[in-house]
Structure 1
Amino acid sequence: MTSAVTKTLPSTPLRRIDLNIKPYMASDNRIASWQIINTAVPLVLCCIAIAKTTEQLNVLSLILTPALFALIILFLSRSFSLMHDCGHHSLFKSKTANRSAAFLLSIFHAMPHHPWSRGHAFHHKHNGNWNRYRGPSALTTRLEYEKKSKNSQLLYQALRHPLTLFPGGFYYLVIKPRVALLLGFIELMANGIIDGFRKISNRKLFNPFTFINDHKSSFFYTKEEVYDTLANTICISLAWWWIGSAIGYWHFWILYTLIMSTSAAIMIAVFFVQHNFPGSYASDEDHWSYFKGAIDGSSFLIMPPILNWFTADIAYHHVHHLSERIPNYRLRHCHEDRQNNFEGVKRLRLDQLWDCFSLILWDNETLQLVSAKQSLKR
């Protein structure tokens, strides 16, 4: 009788297909509509309330203003997360509904949705591939950093200090899109004058819309980005004028600058720590894997339920990167149902987030994120 010998086979690496995440990709218009309502309505009401309470300085305003300020920041965080879902066409079932909702929410953030979502799609496509995508702070490599002068190194560190997120965030949301629009139209006008003379000489009528559609701009990749930025700018300019004339322009701009700077800083910070953390997947082009970028290059933020609600469960970022078509209201369920497969995902507590901001260099030799201090020790 031959004895059977049992061999222990090596465990098979986890693959995306093994997770069966397709059931979680279903969008629900009723849930999506309710999320828009329970975010936009309280946000508008809080904005009206803070405008009223800051009209004069008294004990009541000193108590209510900080609370209203915090609520506005939280609702803006939720609004941005919902707008982010719309960019992935996951919040609603139809592309038209997602684009319409995204445009509405983009007015709250003063940031055109279409250009941002295109750039964000690039991040998803190359997450973890540090040859292609260096994060929101445009990080450099350790070798490039060490070649810089001492002053250039100090400037590099200063520009990536968390405190710079406040002025940087305001620039990113409010100023940068308008600068791009202005420079884009200057470029259009310069080329348009030349093209217009050509049309006149050929006795053809110059059509600005046709020119925008055909023009290859240095500041916009597609004609949709031009129209979206223009429409967003018109809407928020009207809103600035209307609100400013109602409560006073100095009053409005002080509140608006403080709120938008803080909101943008928090959103960028959350995004940063979800990909820049100790041990994060930081591959080069040759060794990159989309799946490893999602599982090993995205963190799972451990937050109280109330903060998960205000951020629309974006803390389950590893699930979101497995498939951007999973709407926010199914991320937690997917994580809980497949949590045995996510044991290797990096868990980050709120008290650990500060450590992530020191990782401002990519070591393309060891394929890891390092701090400036670590670079100097080599």
Structure 2
Amino acid sequence: MPLAPGAAIIWLVYGLVTGTVAMGCWVIAHECGHHAFHPNRRVEALVGFVLHSLLLVPYFAWQRSHAVHHAHCNHLEGGETHVPPRAESKTGQLILAMNRRLGSVLSGSRALVIHLLLGWPLYLLFGVTGGSDYGAPTSHFWPGAPFRNGHRPLFPDSFRGSMLRSNLGVLAMLLLLGLAAIQWSPARVLCVYGLPYLVINAWLVGYTWLHHTDLDIPHFASGDWTWAKGALQTVDRPYGPVLNFLHHGIGATHVCHHINPCIPHYNAWRGTALLRQQFPQLVRYDSTPIHQALWRVASRCSVVRQVIPGEGFFYQA
């Protein structure tokens, strides 16, 4: 395709379609990270490492932080990814003041852009939306100072070798992209690789954002949190047959995934059906169309407050 302004629409369609399909590769690597892909751990690690390195994800570092997320889901201090600020905190006060100044439309639009376009690299580089127990910032690429100032390390000293292997995978991919830019031009690499990359990141953050965030989903402080409480505070949503096929049902079977992340995606449908049958009052499902749910979360879910002691902290617009 030509690198010309007249072909912009074609490139945008290419990026949207290619990135949407390639998100399925991200999900397969995610399955590898949970030991849900293959009984041979070496095969599993190789597949996950290659797929995530191709997508500029430090596989072993992500595997570690994602395990922390599953172990402390919806924990306000020990959680990892999409941990909300409390309304009374300095960060919470700043966000509330900014939202009042911008209004709901602008603040919601700002949240969408920051989350979907910048959220994933900001999380990998600086630990944005990570739990307070691990300090701020944290990094998936370097375990030492200035990324190690919390009550406990997100990446312990024993993990340095695995983090180095992750970094080498990402570095190898960056080298390949640099060589491709020399061969064909940086603009073509940005279009061929960069556009789908942005779409993959948007899908990833959109899924995880909607998994764990809504007005009726509680987050718990240390005194009230338990693993069972946290694991059940995620929600399945209707993504439709095409996206469920391409992305292996990651958005429609997420409650089952948090109950047992070792279940492969093709069995998660049966697991989800059984959970809904046996525990209908515990398994969350929201039928709100995805675009409406995404706007509700972006425009109304910014900080959390606790109204009743022991009942959890809820988002309040």
Distance 2:178 2:144 in 1: 22
Quickly say closer, same or farther: Cα 1:338–1:256, change in 2 above 3 A: same
The structure carrying a bigger helix percent of its residues is 1
1:351-362 mapped onto 2 (5 Å cutoff): 351-357=292-298, 358-362=300-304
Question: Who is 1:86 aligned against?
Answer: 32
Question: Who is 1:324 aligned against?
Answer: 261
Question: Who is 1:214 aligned against?
Answer: none
CA offsets, 1:83-132, max 9 Å, x none?
11111111111211111001110122101111111001011001132232
Any unmatched runs of 5+ in structure 2?
A: 128-137, 147-152
**1:124 lines up with 2:70 in the alignment:** yes
CA offsets, 1:105-160, max 9 Å, x none?
01221011111110010110011322322x53442112225983689645996897
Distance 1:299 1:264 in 2: 20
Quickly say closer, same or farther: Cα 1:181–1:305, change in 2 above 3 A: closer
Quickly say closer, same or farther: Cα 1:320–1:264, change in 2 above 3 A: same
Residues 82-91 or 164-173, more deviating:
164-173
Aligned length: 286
Q: Tell me which stretches of 4 or more aligned residues in structure 1 moved more than 3 Å.
A: 54-58, 61-67, 145-160, 172-177, 179-187, 217-221, 254-258
- AA matched with 1:369: F
1:63-78 mapped onto 2 (5 Å cutoff): 64-78=10-24
Question: Who is 2:57 aligned against?
Answer: 111
Question: Who is 1:368 aligned against?
Answer: 313
Identify which of 275, 298, 301 aligns with 2:237: 301
Distance 1:311 1:290 in 2: 27
Give me the TM-score of the superposition, normalised by structure 1: 0.65
Distance 1:268 1:79 in 2: 15
- AA matched with 1:346: R
Distance 2:95 2:126 in 1: 29
**Aligned-partner SS, 1:281:** coil
Question: Who is 1:231 aligned against?
Answer: 168
Distance 2:124 2:217 in 1: 31
Distance 2:174 2:17 in 1: 24
**1:269 lines up with 2:206 in the alignment:** yes
RMSD: 3.4
Among the aligned pairs, what percent are the same residue?
A: 15
The structural deviation recorded for 1:342 is 4.4
- AA matched with 2:249: D
Distance 1:220 1:291 in 2: 26
Contact 2:85 2:91 in 1 (8 A): no
Question: Who is 1:205 aligned against?
Answer: none
Distance 2:120 2:229 in 1: 33
Distance 1:342 1:110 in 2: 39
